[in-house]
Chains A and B, each alone.
Chain A
Amino acid sequence: MIVRRIATILFVPLMLAFGSGVYLYLGTLKSKTVKERVQLPTVTKPSFTLPGTMFLAQGGRLFKLKNGSFTEIGPSGDWSMPTLTPDHTRLIAILTGKQSSDLYLLDLNGHVIKRLTKNDAKIIDANHWTFYPRVTPDGTSVMYSYDSPKFGFRVDFAIWSMPLDGTQSQARRRTDPYWYTGGDISPIALPGSAIIYVKHSIDQTGVHSQIWYQERSGAIGHGMTALTDDCGAPALSPDRTQIAMICSAGKQSAKLEVAPLTGTTLGPARVLLSGGLYAAPAWSPDGKALAYFAPTGAAGHFQLWYLALPAPAPALSPSASSSATALAGATPAVRASPSPAPTPPVPIQVTQGVDLSATSPPAWF
């Protein structure tokens, strides 16, 4: 009898512990790749030291990446799309509010120097969005996408410009977007009066994006890429001879391409990477490498990658890509003629465990 009582006393906690153990163990079997915990860049250590200084965004916060470590800059708020003035002394970034977004001029430590636009309003549809700021090469004006004019359900971006030291009342619209497509975005000002931007238009198969050239304000301009290539996110090399871009051809996988800029047109594009979700390419200060965002694993959080460009320009061997594939889950490929390939581009993953804003292009100098 006593033995039984002792056994009962011993068995009850044992059973409770074992049952709880099974419960907890089952919890550990959950797929970890689905909901990966995101870290702030500042608590991570990049695996590769990028040359120069880069500004990028994650979850509405701005970060500076320099000498292999991240520093958070800027006040609190929903910040994105940092871009540099040509003299690399100031930043322009977007602060997004509940129903609107605005341009702000910041110093390189993220302190606000000046609010450039005021797009918030009490009446909901009197609010405006401003995105994709880019300063002209002479540093006098800023180009950006602005959802005006709009009416009722029609809300489309046009490219606008305003003097950097002026006021929003001096802003002028320079493009006429196709209605109900989302409009014109991602301007890049060239020396003189020309710009390159992304134009959205429609055919029988749906809405497409094209890299577009406009000689002067108000001009119609022309496409630099084919309509069905669905190219966007253009980045101009520091020497202004090449454009990096992301093309998806209407599919749910993208290509990272580079094409020579010859006057007002683009030459044949080289496909550096394909078969992944590549976003927001940016040129290194010396123009010999690209940085871009791409997710890793099933979690889908975008990490920063570095890709040294092969030189000279043409010819990469599609077969010489196994190392890159293993590293980045990417498929390096070429669109140009497959002649002897000196070195295949091998992407290097710079960050791990962060979730960078893929729609916010980084600034790099």
Chain B
Amino acid sequence: MHPVRLAVLTVVCLLLSGLAGAAAYFFPVVVAGVGQTGQTVVVPPSSTGRVSPTPSAPPGAPFTVLLLGSDDDSKFQADHVLTQSMIQVRVEPATKHVTMLSIPRDLWVPLSTGGSAKIDAAYSYGGAAAAIATVERNFHVHIDEYAWIGLKGLIRMIDELGGVDVIVTNPVLDDFYPDDIDVTYLYGYKRVAILPGPQHLDGSHALQYVRSRHDDIQGDFGRSQRQQQVLLALKSKAATLNAANLPDIVNALKGEFKTSMGLDRVRSLLGVASTFDIAKVRQIVLLPPTYTSYGQISGQSVILPHWAQILPLVKANFP
């Protein structure tokens, strides 16, 4: 064989084998990219025509993501879960500003699928599309993307990131914390105690921290604040990741994560996460009595929205 041909053949073979090695490494990312990102959501048009669904914001433009966190255990049919956590996040890549607004899970609103109920039911009736449409119509905002994560996914992701560091303000004690992760009987309870002070939380303790609400004087509002706190701690951890970490993250989230964002948007979001200043993050919780109040409807304890106060706040922060 001619030496030149041999050399060319060698280079081509090495390139091919190198590509194959890289492809094998990133295979889980590709599979997740196909299966879990870029989820198509058809948001039903509003009967009032107030909010019309539009395509995703162009690259570099501000965009709003609806973060959804759910029970995803066997208590529910697949994709008919309640959303225990709903957080609107507006990201402004140019100014590196981020605004987070937690929507109380018990907020009593008209659902996009018809009738009125607690807003956490929107996802269970119509998936992400119904959750987005319900938020858009009630809050008069446009949601560009959504991301849904299950409880186990959150635990595994935090563990994959090596835990999160938080300052716990006060003891979080709960005698009726749902004991529904990796157990056969899904309706049991257990006691949890997260002690105050700066600390390093692994996935299961971080979940207890963001999920417990029974002994919190602010109930779901206190929990919302803790969820935002852990989200920011996660951001700090994510800032240290690189592309080589993605397969492990994707494996951790297998079946526990869905998003409408494509890989490009996910990548740009990670880029923003590594550069924005936590001090510039605006955190909003719709605390009573200004923005909400407690009420009873059909025997259910609910949160009643004060739209006259909420809508100007939302308009100012989610233009």
Residues of A within 8 A of B (CB): 3-4, 7, 11, 14-16, 18-23, 26-31, 33-36, 98-101, 124-125, 127, 129, 131, 147, 150, 152-157, 178-183, 185, 198, 200, 202, 204, 206-209, 230, 232-233, 246, 248, 250-254, 277-280, 293-295, 298-302, 355, 358-359
Contacts and interface: CB of A to CB of B under 8 A. Distances in A.
Contacts of B25: 22-23, 26-27
Given A156-B215, A206-B222, A277 B198 contact: yes
A248 B165 CA distance: 14
Given A19-B24, A34-B241, A157-B171, A185 B16 contact: no
Interface string B1-27: 100001001100110111011101110
Nearest to B218: A206
B159 to A, nearest CB: 8
B54 interface: no
Interface stretch (B34-42, B66-74, B100-108, B185-193): B185-193
Contacts of A178: 217
Contact of A21 (B21, B167, B222, B287): B21
* 4 cross-chain pairs, A with B, having the tightest CB-CB distances, nearest first: A182-B171, A22-B21, A180-B217, A15-B17
B229 interface: yes
B1 A99 contact: no
Contacts of B225: 206
Given A7-B6, A35-B160, A156-B171, 17 more contacts: A4-B1, A16-B17, A22-B25, A31-B240, A35-B162, A124-B190, A153-B215, A155-B214, A206-B222, A207-B169, A207-B217, A208-B169, A233-B197, A248-B169, A248-B198, A300-B162, A359-B199
Contacts of B17: 14-16, 18-19, 22
Nearest to A96: B193
B165 A300 contact: yes
B155 to A, nearest CB: 15
B7 to A, nearest CB: 12
Given A35-B161, A358-B199, A155 B169 contact: no
Contacts of B167: 248, 251-254, 277
B168 to A, nearest CB: 8
A294 to B, nearest CB: 8
Contacts of B199: 279, 302, 358-359
Interface string B230-243: 00110011001111
A294 B197 CA distance: 11
Interface stretch (B43-51, B172-180, B308-316): B172-180
Interface residues of B, number: 62
A180 B216 contact: yes
A359 B195 contact: yes
22 contacts: A14-B13, A14-B14, A18-B14, A19-B24, A22-B17, A26-B244, A34-B162, A124-B191, A129-B191, A150-B175, A153-B176, A157-B171, A182-B215, A185-B196, A207-B218, A208-B169, A232-B196, A252-B167, A254-B198, A277-B198, A298-B236, A300-B200
B163 to A, nearest CB: 6
B268 interface: no
Contact of B1 (A3, A183, A251): A3
B191 A18 contact: no
Nearest to B175: A125
Given A18-B21, A202-B217, A209 B196 contact: yes
Contacts of A4: 1
Given A27-B244, A180-B215, A232-B197, A20 B222 contact: no
B278 interface: yes
A295 B200 contact: yes
A99 B190 contact: yes
Contacts of B190: 98-99, 124
A29 B160 CA distance: 16
A23 B20 CA distance: 9
B1 A15 contact: no
A30 B173 contact: no
B186 to A, nearest CB: 16
B240 A23 contact: no
